[in-house]
Amino acid sequence: MSRIGNNPINIPEGVTVEILPSKIIVKGKLGELTQEYSGVSVKNVDNIITITRLSESKKTKSKHGLYRALIANMVQGVSEGFTRELELVGVGYRASNQGQKLDLALGFSHNILFDIAPEVKIETVSEKGKNPIIKLISHDKQLVGYVASKIRSFRKPEPYKGKGVKFVGEYIRRKAGKSA
């Protein structure tokens, strides 16, 4: 029994939802998102979306909660948007951007140049005495998460000194070094 799938989704002011037989289109002030679905029926009554499953098979039950979560993220994304923040921890680690190009200095011999998708807005904050922060803002939650994890993969935080690219607020489990 899917508890998440049974929850209704409230549509905020300024968001339009178009439901087609196997696709849903959500438009808002920040953009437009589409999602295909199968095994469930989607209904919009009085600006409240409800999702019901068409059968009781295990595959359909798992899709019930999945599509409800995806559609809720689409509605929230086009109305409010999503933000992911990354922090660069390490001596000499720097980040700067020129438009949609991110320039990272992460202790390698050459800087890493990374092209960001046009749907994602990027912002770098560098204050003296604090670690540089990269802010990623978009209406697509999946895309923001993918871009953030790709940037993090360039230099994952290591457990001894904690150096690397980490999410803001992420806890790095530390290890003791060699004992003499």
Pick the CATH number of 82-167 from 3.90.960.10, 3.90.930.12, 3.40.80.10, 3.30.70.120: 3.90.930.12
Q: Per CATH, which fold does 3-79 belong to?
A: Outer Surface Protein A; domain 3 (3.90.930)
Q: What is the pLDDT of residue 179?
A: 82
pLDDT at 5: 86
In the predicted model, residues of the chain with pLDDT beneath 50 are none
pLDDT score recorded for residue 180: 67
Q: What is the pLDDT of residue 177?
A: 87
How far apart are alpha carbons 43 and 81 in whole angstroms?
A: 24
pLDDT score, position 83 = 97
Dump pLDDT digits (tens) for 40-69: 999 999 999 999 999 989 889 889 999 999
User: Nearest Cα to 87, choosing from 24, 42, 148?
Assistant: 148
CB atoms within 10 A of CB 160: 11
Q: What is the pLDDT of residue 2?
A: 56
Domain chopping of the chain, boundaries: 3-79, 82-167
Q: Is there a common fold for 3-79 and 82-167? A: yes
